[in-house]
Amino acid sequence: MAAAADPLSIAVVGGGIAGLTLAIAMLKNCPHILVTLYESANEFGEIGAGVGFEPVMVRTMGLIDPRIAAAFEKCSKGNTATEPPRWFTVRVGDERKKDVTSGEEVFVMPARTGPRGGVHRAHFLNELVKLLPEGIAQFRKRLQNITEAEYGSGKVILHFTDGSTALHDAVLGCDGIKSRTRSILLGDSMASKTVFSGKYAYRGLIPMAKAIDIMGKGTPETPQLYMGYRGHVLTFPIANGTLFNVVAFSSRPTWDQPEWVVQTTREDMLNDYKHWNPAVRTIMENLQKPDIWALFDHPPAPTYYSTKPLLCLVGDAAHASTPHQGAGAGMGIEDVYILSELLSQCTSKSDIAKAFHAYDAVRRPRSQKLVKTSREAGMLWELEGEGVGDDLEALKQNALTRMNWIWDHDITEDLTRAIGLMRDGTSAAVQ
């Protein structure tokens, strides 16, 4: 009697939202594949505070695993809901803008109906961790390199900075914007390097009770977007409505420092908003830690995968974007849905290569469009959009339609197309 073939073995590199959801998805949908998740830190953790998901992304979570959508809803309940749903109430916060009353509502960006809103990254991650069985994750494993095994098996060897190695059939790179798997895949090309977007942000959390005390009831509990010249400010509730999340953007032409998060002075921070209205200045005065977060993104990669070694990029490792359309994390969720469904049909390494090819064909155009249009949105909110500038009526018309392609997308149609590519036996040429 012939011995049963060894099960396929896949490494997931990176334990952020994309890596955890992908591992959870594969454990649910790919019982024939052994999954190991490698995380460089001592434990799971997320950088930053608030992250938002719109209904289209939450529905995709449910398609992956209803428990993931439930985890999101657990973290988002308590946020004030509006009827009809609003993405943001848009206001001008910069008093230099003439012909408009600073602080008054200019227009409302409607949202789609369904579970949505902001959550605290760490809280959401903690709920995802509960869905991952013990023994799947290995910590303190910082990836150094990936090589092919020498004896012709087609397997890949992961080399870690602690001197250890691991042998797998394929690697899924979910290691974020500073991705090591991306640099291994793309080599020394410009596409492997991050690019400064010209924007930076101050981030902070204010207890909701205090925010209501200093701003009055109503505005703090619902998402607000204050526009200005070369800057804009977002506020929205997170942590079940108990925290007022602030992300205040400003501009500079270059970023020369090696670190992306640097301390600044309160004076410099407040100086960035000296021409803004009292509401915005009050928000900024109540931020406790004046750190600057530089905003980088990725230039378009020519591919998200290779067959030698068998490696595929997911989430921010593939398409890190600026946050100006609130869809970066959601794009990673879409990646996970498509890739995990394709991998569920794989029984060999050649199947995995075909799955990677189909995933790349379907996901790369959409996710790279997000990177491009998110940069454009950052310019729009700062009254410097191409062909729009500070014309508020033109800006409104642009804003009210620019999210449709993200929010009204049917991800199941993408899956049907990807499965067709995979089943057609489309050659996954060596990348």
Which active-site residues does the annotation give?
Answer: 203
CA dist 60 and 268 (Å) reads 41
Burial of residue 413 (CB within 10 Å: 0-12, 13-18, 19+) is exposed
Given the DSSP bridges, would you call strands 165-168 and 156-160 parallel, antiparallel or unpaired? Answer: antiparallel
CA dist 186 and 305 (Å) reads 9
Given the DSSP bridges, would you call strands 33-38 and 8-13 parallel, antiparallel or unpaired? Answer: parallel
Token digits of residue 210 = 């205090």
Tokens 């230039």 appear where?
299
Token digits of residue 153 = 């098996």
